[in-house]
Chain A
Amino acid sequence: GNSVTQMEGPVTLSEEAFLTINCTYTATGYPSLFWYVQYPGEGLQLLLKATKADDKGSNKGFEATYRKETTSFHLEKGSVQVSDSAVYFCALAQGGSEKLVFGKGTKLTVNP
């Protein structure tokens, strides 16, 4: 079945450091891929998405590229801020079913 594997946390960085959170998936066909962010005490918010191979999703300085050949959708940001401290979830939706499959989440803490 469909699944998402993302790097285990927690991840702790200093402000202005480079961020990568790895995400790989298993699915048949061409799923749509997502990154969601959950700030402390809140629900999840859509951060970015990509619907086909080689698409790049971007938002708030975060980027992720849909790599079909490596079945990956790694999240990157060039310079993190303290306000980026949150839990990040990678997810996929398989064509024909819009039900999302989530990874286990990666907690990011950014220190000043």
Chain B
Amino acid sequence: EADIYQTPRYLVIGTGKKITLECSQTMGHDKMYWYQQDPGMELHLIHYSYGVNSTEKGDLSSESTVSRIRTEHFPLTLESARPSHTSQYLCASSRTGYYGYTFGSGTRLTVV
């Protein structure tokens, strides 16, 4: 049973639109992550946060931005969506001192 929630599950949107992908967790985890998963299944870390008001860019450069104003909430925003942003986006969280992530079910984004 997932304690980390991503909405929407699927999103089809036109080029140039602004979108926000939501991620919330109810476990009190201090660390949160966003991954982009390509069609070949490989996971790419694009953003992470180790606490409120702390955000860092990941290993893969992304035009998206994130914010962490509340512990439980870690939204990802694209100011102007493009077809190259079409992908699956996975959110995850973890707790300091404990190795292992809990993942959300993902948002599959299609930009047309």
Q: Could you list which residues of chain A lie within 8 angstroms of chain B, going by C-beta atoms? A: 32, 34, 36, 38, 41-46, 49, 51, 87, 89, 93, 98-100, 102, 104-105, 107
Interface residues on B, range: 20 to 34
Expressed in whole angstroms, the Cα–Cα distance for A105 and B31 within the complex equals 23
Expressed in whole angstroms, the Cα–Cα distance for A38 and B105 within the complex equals 10
Expressed in whole angstroms, the Cα–Cα distance for A36 and B37 within the complex equals 14
Q: Is B41 an interface residue (CB 8 A)?
A: yes
Expressed in whole angstroms, the Cα–Cα distance for A105 and B45 within the complex equals 15
Q: Could you list which residues of chain B lie within 8 angstroms of chain A, going by C-beta atoms? A: 2, 6, 31, 33, 40-43, 45, 48, 90, 92, 94, 96-106
Chief secondary structure at chain A's binding surface: strand
Minimum CB–CB distance from B89 to chain A (whole Å) comes to 10
Given A42-B106, A44-B90; A102-B99 close (CB under 8 Å): no
